[in-house]
Homo-oligomer: A and B are copies of this chain.
Amino acid sequence: MGSTEITRTESLMNAVRSRIANRALSPGDRLPSVRRFAETMGVSPSTVVEAYDRLEAEGVIRARRGSGFYVTGADLPPMALAEMGPSRERDVDPFWVSRQSLDAAPSVLKPGCGWLPADWMPNAALRKGLRALGRADDTLLSDYGSTRGSLALRRLLLGRFADEGISATADQILLTSSGTQATDLICRLLLRPGDTVLVDDPCYFNFQALLRAHQVRIVGIPFTPTGPDTAAFEQALVSDSPRLYITNSALHNPTGGSLSPQTAHRIVSAAAIHGLTIVEDDIFADFEPTLSPRLATLDGLNRVIRIGSFSKTLSAAARCGYIAARTDWIENLVDLQLAINFGGPSPVATELIAGVLAGGSYRKHMDEVRQRLTRARKDAANRLAALGIVPWIKPRGGYYLWCRLPDGHDSTALARRCMEDGVVLAPGNVFSVSQSARSFIRFNVAHLGDRQIFSSLRTAMKEAAR
């Protein structure tokens, strides 16, 4: 057998393998007959026979007496998230920052992470709440709880909505396992593969990871210091017919920007004209010194869906988020959450959260956290300035500083280099749909206390400049 013949056989084998990998052929499917495949591929039947025999030897396909060859599926890889969208360098993958931060050894420094250090959280109130739960009744400790989740916690949320000027009923709120799961449930209800979704550019990196899992098209709207660029937003509504827009209205992740009243009004107006649904993720609300404009406030929970979570200000270990929306949507979401999770967050955890929120200490605690963060933002800006790293805007609250590196520096390279020193950074392109934020980086000022971070940054930048 000549070498050309071998190449043809292998090329046939690869053709079969790739049809299996892309699921044009599924496990149990019959392969084309030898004669038909030979004709299709323009080779001799004996070449097909050899290719099939070798694939059988590999366990990829299997002969059945008198009936042909079938795909076994033995080597079919599971669908990886990487398949769901364009692959990227591993170090600007949205999962990179998450996994490095979550699974980090205690010695690792995490100025790129998205939460406060544990000792900034209301731990005394949490401990008190756990002791109180030790005296709760059996039903709370061991039953599933109601389908929408703790009524006490939903009522506390209604009180907050009323302060914003949003009137709603307890039936319009569904508690979820997290803010992310809230978004996921909404996407599962409203989106189908191939739909278009608008996000801010830059935006919270996990919005992109989530949307890729839904196999939708992601369109980024340039973000300005007062919210999304309204002209670009309106243009996208016309040209891309998006089904959904996901955003943070206040203390936007990663920039720290907040909506202006004019931007909020234009976004809600344009959404109404084009029948767009908006998910407003209000996870950073309690870090605001005073309430800035909200889309849900203008719209009144009609086409704007409000989501949020208690992970950033109260406890990420409790795992609880919420959705507030039109009653008919919530009804459908209740069924969906039953189908995929048989309910929502831990009732033990939601009772703990409700207890802390209802207690007097939480408000005082957040006052202190806000003051501490104001100082930390100022300190961080000063220390970063010494390295030529400059905040894009001065946020009115929260712990993020979205910063521009000195000319020519690449935040992805910097993140890779600093990781060697045990410092996890959040490079700009992790957040950018258009991959245009290579010279930006997001810092969490509450995690910038250790001088080693700055020395690692300085060294990395010096090396890069060589």
Contacts and interface: CB of A to CB of B under 8 A. Distances in A.
Contacts of A347: 317, 319
A464 interface: no
A73 interface: yes
Contact of A29 (B75, B123, B241): B241
A288 interface: no
Given A131-B130, A332-B80, A26 B195 contact: yes
Nearest to A211: B339
A232 interface: no
Interface string A299-320: 0000000000001001111111
A141 B274 contact: no
Contacts of A213: 188, 336, 339-340
Interface in A48-82: 62, 71-81
Contacts of A411: none
A74 to B, nearest CB: 4
A329 to B, nearest CB: 6
Interface in A87-112: 94-95, 98-99, 102-103
B274 A316 contact: no
A27 interface: yes
A320 B119 CA distance: 26
A327 to B, nearest CB: 12
A95 B340 contact: no
B346 A240 contact: no
B241 A28 contact: yes
Contacts of A188: 213
A210 interface: yes
Nearest to A215: B192
A28 B240 contact: yes
A334 interface: yes
Contacts of A131: 130-131, 134
Interface in A9-48: 23, 26-29
Number of copies: 2
Contacts of A320: 346
Given A115-B143, A141-B315, A210 B339 contact: yes
Contact of A348 (B115, B121, B352): B352
Interface in A186-244: 188-190, 192-193, 195, 206, 209-210, 212-213, 237-238, 240-243
Contacts of A189: 78-79
A135 B127 contact: yes
A410 B69 CA distance: 46
Nearest to A83: B332
A379 interface: no
A2 to B, nearest CB: 33
Nearest to A101: B144
A62 B144 CA distance: 46
A386 interface: no
11 contacts: A77-B328, A78-B189, A103-B146, A115-B144, A142-B317, A193-B193, A319-B345, A320-B346, A346-B348, A348-B349, A348-B352
Which 3 residue pairs across A and B have the least CB separation, nearest first? A28-B241, A73-B275, A121-B142
Interface of A: 23, 26-29, 62, 71-81, 94-95, 98-99, 102-103, 115, 118-119, 121-123, 126-128, 130-131, 133-135, 137-147, 177-181, 184, 188-190, 192-193, 195, 206, 209-210, 212-213, 237-238, 240-243, 272-276, 311, 314-320, 328-329, 332, 334-336, 338-343, 345-349, 352
Given A99-B147, A118-B137, A142-B317, 14 more contacts: A27-B241, A27-B276, A62-B273, A80-B332, A94-B339, A115-B143, A118-B142, A126-B142, A130-B348, A141-B317, A181-B342, A213-B336, A346-B346, A346-B348
